[in-house]
């Protein structure tokens, strides 16, 4: 007799055996028990990052902003409403070498190439204008999602241009309070592949926050956790703040904005000297006079590759 047959006979005898009162007792089936599930806790000082990829459900976000696409387009900026405009075509050429570096299509081995900082030596050179245009252009790619971070926390002009209220919590709140998670301050937009991390509330220690270990931890997470995400930073001017150079040293690529006939050569050289030598640096010439050199009425002056010069020939407003 097999082991299974012996077990069945034993069970049948247990079921048919009467108790002292003559009743037949049917044994109750065993109750399955599971071990309690422990919820992991966030270590003090760590920054928890939630997904901002395109597949994220809208319900995961507490905040939403309707980006004024029509207003941006009317002011000469890149928008989904004008995908074939002159400015849109120019930023297609500007973003291409940056995306090539992200996809590993260049000879250089770039660390964290998906972290792109748009910088300038001084204010008023078109840095914020360029950062928003770059983010909008990359968000129009089919296989990329964009997280735009307003890291110019003292001005937060990018947020205002994108329709975000000045009191909206953001980067400074995230770095100050370890209980705040990225999903708590992330802003979903009406552009499916674009999320925004606002500057946050003004704080007297904002400069120290951008140079903190929490900021470094956040950058590490953003760079490595999601392969389809491109993070675009609007940074403070390199020569006016100390935190900008610290932030620059965390980046894989830097788009350095130079205002034509405005930024001095000395300012450019000093600004570049504050950038990590390991980063890929592309130069974008802003506010250049328009030169019609093709039948379409515009031309390009762009460079490609590692450490190349990337220039725009269209007149663009300062920010």
- Cα separation, 134 vs 157, in Å, equals 16
- The rounded distance, in Å, linking the Cα atoms of 319 and 125 is 6
> How far is 316 from 125, CA to CA, in rounded Å?
9
Q: Where are the domains of the chain?
A: 58-311
pLDDT at position 243 is 85
Confidence (pLDDT) at 208: 86
Complete edge-to-edge strand list for the sheet that includes strand 194-197: 63-65, 187-189, 194-197, 145-150, 229-234, 115-120, 253-259, 280-286
Confidence at residue 204, expressed as pLDDT on a 0 to 100 scale: 82
Q: What is the mean pLDDT of each run of 10 residues along the chain (319 residues)?
A: 57 53 50 41 38 40 88 94 92 96 85 95 96 97 95 93 93 93 94 96 83 91 88 95 88 96 95 87 89 42 34 44
- Cα separation, 130 vs 97, in Å, equals 16
pLDDT of residue 314: 41
pTM for the complete prediction? 0.74
Q: Which tokens is 19 given?
A: 């108790």
What is the model's pLDDT at position 37? 39
Q: 231 has which bridge partners? A: 115, 147
Q: What is the pLDDT of residue 188?
A: 96
pLDDT for res 280 = 92
CATH class of 58-311: alpha beta
């Amino acid at each position: 007799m097999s082991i299974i047959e012996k077990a069945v006979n034993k069970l049948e005898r247990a079921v048919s055996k009467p108790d002292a009162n003559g009743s037949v007792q049917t044994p109750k089936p065993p109750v399955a028990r599971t071990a309690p599930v422990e919820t992991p806790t966030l270590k003090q000082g760590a920054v928890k990052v939630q997904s901002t990829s395109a597949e994220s459900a809208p319900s995961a976000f507490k905040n939403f902003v309707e980006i004024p696409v029509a207003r941006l387009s009317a002011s000469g900026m890149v928008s989904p409403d004008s995908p074939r405009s002159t400015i849109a075509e120019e930023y297609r050429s500007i973003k291409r070498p940056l995306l090539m570096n992200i996809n590993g299509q260049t000879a250089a081995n770039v660390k964290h190439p998906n972290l792109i900082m748009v910088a300038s030596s001084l204010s008023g050179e078109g840095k914020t204008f360029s950062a928003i245009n770059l983010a909008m252009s990359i968000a129009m790619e089919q296989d990329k999602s964009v997280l735009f971070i307003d890291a110019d926390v003292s001005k937060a002009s990018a947020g205002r241009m994108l329709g975000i209220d000045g009191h909206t919590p953001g980067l400074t709140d995230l770095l100050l309070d370890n209980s705040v998670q990225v999903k708590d301050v992330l802003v979903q937009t009406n552009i499916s592949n674009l999320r925004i991390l606002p500057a946050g509330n003004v704080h007297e220690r904002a400069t120290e926050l951008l140079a903190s270990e929490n900021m470094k931890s956040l950058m590490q997470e953003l760079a490595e956790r999601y392969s389809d995400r491109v993070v675009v930073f609007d940074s403070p001017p390199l020569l006016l703040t100390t935190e900008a150079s610290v932030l620059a040293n965390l980046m894989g690529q830097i788009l350095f904005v130079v205002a034509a006939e405005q930024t001095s050569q000395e300012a450019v050289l000093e600004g570049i000297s504050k950038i990590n030598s390991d980063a890929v640096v592309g130069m974008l010439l802003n506010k250049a006079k328009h030169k019609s050199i093709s039948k379409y009425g515009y031309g390009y002056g762009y460079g490609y590759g590692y450490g190349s010069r990337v220039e725009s020939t269209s007149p663009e407003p300062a920010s």
